[in-house]
Chain A
Amino acid sequence: AQSVAQPEDQVNVAEGNPLTVKCTYSVSGNPYLFWYVQYPNRGLQFLLKYITGDNLVKGSYGFEAEFNKSQTSFHLKKPTALVSDSALYFCAVRDFYSSASKIIFGSGTRLSIRP
């Protein structure tokens, strides 16, 4: 079965500093990877995806993610953190083991940006 792991429950960063939210994956075939963000009392919103091509993927709100096949990682990054980036972030992988192709989510990382 395919899965993603987010090793950090919480990440704390000062505003203006760069941020990284970690994600590692486990798949049998080609990985199809996603990042979503959840603000309080809201559903998840899509940030970015990696399917094929460039290892550095750019997404919404200035976020980007770097796909690293040798380390099986897909870390989310942003050069300059904003207080408004504080939210819950989920890494996800497309599961192609089943015919249904559902998306499997990690456990989430709470990002807290202090002023």
Chain B
Amino acid sequence: NAGVMQNPRHLVRRRGQEARLRCSPMKGHSHVYWYRQLPEEGLKFMVYLQKENIIDESGMPKERFSAEFPKEGPSILRIQQVVRGDSAAYFCASSPVGGQVNEKLFFGSGTQLSVL
């Protein structure tokens, strides 16, 4: 019974390149959340998705960042033209049903993005 799977664990990109981070939720989960963790800081909400729908992207930067969760396959967080400030740990979490008050999130181990 695999948990939330994120890959790659570590991703190195040069400034201006694209970064693609993947997240496969737990089996049976149809809701995905992406968070960013900067060194010595807490988790900052980025985006919440259901299958084929973006529910809340209020934490996403307006430019260069996008996310999707297709009907088939993992959720993808895409960062275009990366800059050094994008270096962070990106965590994905999933839940079986979104919006329930007592619902806990299941987290992946994260992708550490380093921009050179």
Contacts and interface: CB of A to CB of B under 8 A. Distances in A.
Contacts, number: 69
A100 B102 contact: no
Interface stretch (A14-22, A45-53, A65-73, A78-86): A45-53
Nearest to B33: A102
Contacts of A106: 42
Interface stretch (B13-21, B61-69, B75-83, B107-115): B107-115
Interface of B: 4, 6, 33, 35, 41-45, 48, 55-56, 58-59, 91, 93, 98-102, 104-110
19 contacts: A32-B101, A43-B4, A43-B6, A44-B43, A44-B105, A44-B107, A90-B42, A99-B55, A100-B56, A100-B98, A100-B99, A101-B99, A102-B56, A103-B33, A103-B105, A104-B45, A105-B35, A105-B45, A107-B41
Interface of A: 6, 32, 34, 36, 41-46, 49, 51, 90, 94, 96, 98-108
